[in-house]
Amino acid sequence: MRKPILAGNWKMFKTVTQAQSFVEHLQELNEVPAEVEAVICAPFTSLLALHLALKDSPIRLAAQNVHQAEEGAFTGEVSALMLKDVGCSYVIIGHSERRQYFGETDESVNQKVQAALAHGLLPIICVGEDLDQRNQGITKQLVESQVRAALAGVKPDDVSRLVIAYEPIWAIGTGQTATAQDANEVCAHIRQVVGDLCGAEQAKRVRIQYGGSVKPENIEELMAQPDIDGALVGGASLNPGSFASLLRGA
Ligand code: PEP
């Protein structure tokens, strides 16, 4: 049985004070269901404060990026060890915004996945097609090659613990969502690819999220799909009330 995982990707939003106030409000709402794993993916600057604020909470913490090297002369970068040290359980890797604006490639995604796992951080690996690729009918092909590249050389047991987020780029931040059936079809294909790479048991265990304009109004339909095990949510995760509704819906 796969436990649904709902992750709020705050992107480059919220100061430390705003992050603390979000957690206070969320805790007042007291709505983190035990059946759902809740994750907050915060900017680096708020991670320590959130770690301290969430000390007695089941909510897990994630970073939004990591560097692939152990340490070294990489000005402005943050290592997996540093993220683990500051209380992160997860890290988003290969978000389409990082691929688009910061030159991340399938190869660097794979290196980051390996670096994260080496330090006990679980990757949330993002894959997904743009509108042009969707219109060309190559969505599954494209997503499959991103998944194969990201998981190259990763041990099957590690694969079963990590998370893959299927995020069609045309649906991110646009208000447009894939239909629940379309999203499920791609997630099912990703599961098949994992099965092919690592075996049926691992494929059954790996959690696959959908992301792209998920909100309280559409989460239930998405989560009702057999191969969708949670959501990666940007905009609708920024408000504690909306995040609590998403957790209920998941
Ligand atoms: C995201 O940031 O991964 C995302 C899916 O954003 P949004 O929910 O705003 O579309």
pTM for the structure as a whole: 0.97
pLDDT at 31 over 80: no
Beta strands in 50-105 (DSSP E): 60-63, 90-93
Cα 173 to the chain's mean position, in Å? 15
* Residue nearest atom 7 in ligand 1 by C-alpha distance: 234
The answer to whether the annotation marks 184 as part of a ligand binding site is no
User: Is 173 flagged in the annotation as binding?
Assistant: yes
The model's pLDDT over 198-244, given as tens digits with 9 standing for 90+, comes to 999 999 999 999 999 999 999 999 999 999 999 999 999 999 999 99
Q: Is 94 in the pocket of ligand 1 (CB under 6 A)?
A: no
The residue whose two tokens read 């998405």 is: 222
3-state secondary structure labels for all residues of 150-219: HHCCCCHHHHHHCEEEECCHHHCCCCCCCCHHHHHHHHHHHHHHHHHHHCHHHHHHCEEEEECCCCCCCH
Mean per-residue pLDDT, 128-143: 97
Task: Catalytic residue, from 95, 104, 144, 189: name it.
Answer: 95
**For 6-17, what is the mean pLDDT?**
98
Write down the pLDDT at residue 29.
87
pLDDT band at 80 (very low <50, low <70, confident <90, very high): very high
pLDDT value of residue 97: 98
pLDDT of residue 1: 82
84 band by pLDDT with thresholds 50, 70 and 90 = very high
**Domains located in the chain, CATH noted:** 5-249 (3.20.20.70)
Instruction: Give the percent of the chain with pLDDT over 70.
Output: 100
Enter the tokens of residue 230. Answer: 């949670």
Which residue in 97, 104, 144, 167 is the catalytic one? Answer: 167
Q: pLDDT grade, residue 44 (50/70/90)? A: very high
How does residue 30 score in pLDDT terms, banded at 50, 70 and 90? Answer: confident
Residues 6 or more apart whose CB falls under 8 angstroms from that of 211 comprise 9, 126, 128, 165, 166, 167, 171, 172, 231, 232, 233, 234
Note the pLDDT of residue 98: 98
The reported pLDDT for the residue numbered 32 is 85
Give per-residue pLDDT as tens, 64-76.
999 999 999 999 9
Is 104 designated active site? no
Distance CA 2, CA 20 (A): 30
* Distance from the alpha carbon of residue 139 to the mean position of ligand 1, in angstroms: 18
- At 147-195, the pLDDT tens digits run 999 999 999 999 999 999 999 999 999 999 989 999 999 999 999 999 9
Predicted pLDDT at 92 = 98
Whose C-alpha lies nearest to ligand 1, atom 5?
212
